[in-house]
């Protein structure tokens, strides 16, 4: 299933659905059965006599999916099928594809650059970077336990915050000092060997893992710059020296732009990476 739909503009929906089967010499009765089944599954039966130009973007995408369904494949390959749709239609079609997967019970390989699509549709995600596999796992496993900085920054929206730090202690745990936060320190237990004192590292914290001052293991001060209000929560884009942090807040606790605010980081809600991006566990 392609990004561009690849529908024949001079054919009706019914003709587009049946074209591949007819070209392969499939029996007429079987072709009609498959086309009818695909139309019922995708809820496009009332569109069968229309041409592609008479369809909305979402309807065209359903027809493109229907052309694959009539072949009754064992595996579907979706190549960024929703990228041409507007935001509302993308949400609707994500639900449609998820429902389709459950109804057909077949494997679907779905190629996307949209982390939201990957997280909401997948049973397992393969994260690729420049042709190399960075990590394979269930969506929440990749989100909560990324293998490296690339995966941590790629999976999740808004993306993970990364803060420069330096190791100042390694007595059974690692203590890091945040470079741009007035000497703020965080002590974090590790399962493996701690980096040597003086090693430069990167601390990763997701927007929802900032807490009220005093509730965590390390408090930092930031200056609110811009806020995005999304109903029950807001995302605050805050400055801390050269670093910009994205902080999730309850809407009722939102500060005005330009206000200084203090937030707290918990050791068990943060991740540590070396300068190469490898995870320090």
Say whether both 187 and 270 belong to one domain: yes
pLDDT grade for 122, boundaries at 50, 70 and 90: very high
Both tokens of residue 102?
Answer: 């459950």
Domain identity same for 115 and 149 = no
pLDDT range class, residue 51, cuts 50, 70, 90: very high
CA distance 21 to 27: 8
Claim to verify: residue 54 and residue 84 sit in the same structural domain: yes
Within-domain flag for 17: yes
What range does the domain containing 223 cover? 161-280
Distances (CA, A) of 5 to 1, 111, 220: 7, 15, 49
Q: What is the largest CA-CA distance in the chain?
A: 76
Query: 130 and 212: one domain?
Result: no
pLDDT confidence of residue 172: 82
Residue 146 shares a structural domain with residue 193: no
pLDDT one-digit tens code per residue, 198-216? 999 999 999 999 999 999 9
Residue of 166, 150, 1 lying closest to 69 (CA atoms): 1
- Kindly indicate the confidence band of residue 10, based on its pLDDT and cuts at 50, 70 and 90: very high
Q: Give the pLDDT mean for 48-56.
A: 96
- Residues of the chain above pLDDT 70, percent: 98
Structure confidence at residue 87 (pLDDT): 87
Strand pairing class (107-111; 75-79): parallel
Same domain, 48 and 74: yes
In-domain check, residue 6: no
- Residue 94, helix vs strand vs coil: helix
252 in a structural domain = yes
Q: What is the pLDDT of residue 85?
A: 86
Task: Please tell me the predicted confidence (pLDDT) of residue 185.
Answer: 97
Tell me: pLDDT of 4 over 90.
Answer: no
Based on the fold, state whether residues 31 and 141 are members of the same structural domain. no
Residue 165 placed within a domain? yes
Residues 103 and 140 placed together within one structural domain of the fold: no
Which CATH number characterizes residue 71's domain?
Answer: 3.40.50.300
| 28 and 88, same domain (yes or no) | yes
Q: Is the pLDDT of residue 126 over 70?
A: yes
Q: What is the pTM of this model?
A: 0.87
Q: What is the pLDDT of residue 257?
A: 67
Q: How confident is the model at residue 2 (pLDDT cuts 50, 70, 90)?
A: confident
Asked whether residue 103 falls in the same domain as residue 37, the answer is yes
Whether 188 is covered by a domain: the verdict is yes
pLDDT category of residue 251 using cuts at 50, 70 and 90: confident
Report if residue 68 sits inside a domain: yes
Using an 8 Å Cβ cutoff, are 223 and 180 in contact?
no
Last residue of a domain, one of 154, 175, 204: 154
Q: pLDDT confidence of 84, banded at 50, 70, 90?
A: confident
The pLDDT tens digits of the residues spanning 22-48 come to: 999 999 999 999 999 999 999 999 999
- Residue 15: band (very low, low, confident or very high) from pLDDT cuts 50, 70, 90: very high
Whole-angstrom Cα distance, residue 254 to residue 235? 9
Q: Are 20 and 34 a contacting pair, CB within 8 Å?
A: no
b/e for 264-277, b at 16 or more Cβ within 10 A?
A: bbbbeebbbbeeeb
More confident residue, 140 or 5: 140
> How many domains, in total, are found in the chain?
3
Q: CATH number of the domain at 173, please.
A: 2.40.50.140
pLDDT of residue 240: 86
Instruction: State the pLDDT at residue 255.
Output: 61
pLDDT tens per residue, range 145-186: 999 999 999 999 999 999 999 999 998 899 999 998 889 999
Say if residue 35 is in the same domain as residue 51: yes
- The arithmetic mean of pLDDT across residues 115-133, rounded, is 96
Calpha distance 31→191 (Å, rounded): 59
């Amino acid at each position: 299933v392609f990004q561009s739909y690849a529908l024949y503009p001079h054919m009706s929906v019914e003709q587009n659905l049946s074209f591949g089967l007819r070209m392969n010499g499939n029996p007429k009765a079987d072709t009609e059965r498959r086309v009818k089944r695909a139309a019922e599954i995708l809820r496009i039966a009332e569109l069968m006599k229309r041409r592609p130009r008479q369809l909305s973007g979402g309807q065209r995408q359903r027809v493109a999916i229907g052309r694959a369904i009539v072949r009754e494949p064992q595996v579907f390959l979706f190549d960024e099928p929703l990228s041409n749709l507007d935001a509302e239609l993308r949400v609707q079609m994500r639900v449609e594809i998820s429902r389709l997967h459950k109804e057909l019970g077949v494997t679907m390989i779905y190629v996307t650059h949209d982390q939201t699509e990957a997280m909401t549709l997948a049973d397992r995600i393969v994260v690729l970077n420049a042709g190399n596999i960075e990590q394979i796992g269930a969506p929440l496993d990749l989100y909560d336990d990324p293998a490296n900085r690339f995966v941590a920054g790629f999976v999740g929206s808004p993306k993970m915050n990364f803060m420069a730090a330096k190791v100042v202690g390694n007595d059974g745990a690692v203590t890091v000092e945040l470079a741009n936060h007035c000497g703020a320190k965080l002590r974090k237990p590790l399962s493996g060997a701690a980096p040597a004192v003086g090693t430069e590292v990167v601390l990763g914290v997701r927007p929802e893992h900032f807490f009220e001052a005093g509730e965590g293991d390390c408090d930092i001060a930031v200056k609110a710059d811009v806020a995005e209000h999304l109903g029950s929560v807001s995302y605050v884009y805050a400055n801390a020296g050269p670093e910009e942090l994205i902080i999730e807040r309850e809407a009722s606790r939102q500060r005005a732009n330009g206000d200084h605010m203090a937030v707290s980081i918990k050791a068990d809600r943060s991740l540590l990476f070396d300068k190469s991006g490898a995870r320090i566990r």
